[in-house]
Amino acid sequence: MIVVKTSLEINAPIELCFDFARDIQLHTATVWRHTKERAVDGACTGRINRGETVTFEATHFLIRQRLTSQITEFERPYIFVDQMVSGAFKSMKHTHEFEDRNGVTLMTDTLQFEAPFGFIGWLVERLVLRYYMKRFIEHRNNELKKIAEGRQAYG
């Protein structure tokens, strides 16, 4: 299993950052364009909440994939966790944590995942996926930061 952890300070209130991070349309607007990611089932619009699921369809490594996640933990505005219900990974858990630091929000993402296919999956995790997934999350979070700090229009 691989663990990828990223942190980013956002000059915006914790509640805003928390709500933006769980906004489905904002999610699809802030990921890499070439993936053509979109919500296709479940909570396809608005802010996802505890117990809800969403299925995203996206192209990664030239393969069109679907991943369904469910919000398994939710404490606004501090933490929410989404866990893969079905998809290309053997397992995936994404923990989103938020900490208020005098009006600046520290947003921390911890992504745990395991690839299928035994030893081959283990190699791919370490040689490709760890770096790819970290870049994916960092890009999305930097785009979310721009919007939350008002440097980019949203909605």
pLDDT given for residue 83 in this prediction? 98
Domain that holds residue 138: 2-148
Tally of domains in the chain: 1
Q: What CATH number did the domain enclosing 93 receive?
A: 3.30.530.20
Residue 132 in any domain: the answer is yes
> Per-residue pLDDT averaged across 57-65, rounded?
93
Q: Residue 28: CB partners within 8 Å, gap ≥ 6?
A: 37, 38, 39, 56
Evaluate if residue 152 carries a pLDDT over 80. Answer: no
Q: In 3D, which of 27, 14, 83, 25 has the Cα closest to residue 51?
A: 83
In a domain, 97, yes or no: yes
- Confirm whether pTM is higher than 0.75: yes
Going by pLDDT thresholds of 50, 70 and 90, the confidence category of residue 155 is low
Kindly state whether residue 110 falls inside one of the protein's structural domains.
Answer: yes
Which pLDDT band holds residue 25 (cuts at 50, 70, 90)?
very high
In a domain, 28, yes or no: yes
Nearest CA among 85, 26, 21 for reference residue 51? 85
pLDDT attached to residue 154: 64
For residue 154, is it within any domain? no
- The answer as to whether 155 is a domain residue is no
Q: Answer whether residue 47 is part of any domain.
A: yes
E strand segments, the chain: 2-10, 38-42, 53-60, 63-75, 79-86, 91-101, 104-114
* Residue 17 forms part of a structural domain: yes
Cβ neighbors of 13 (< 8 A, separation 6 or more) are: 100, 103, 105
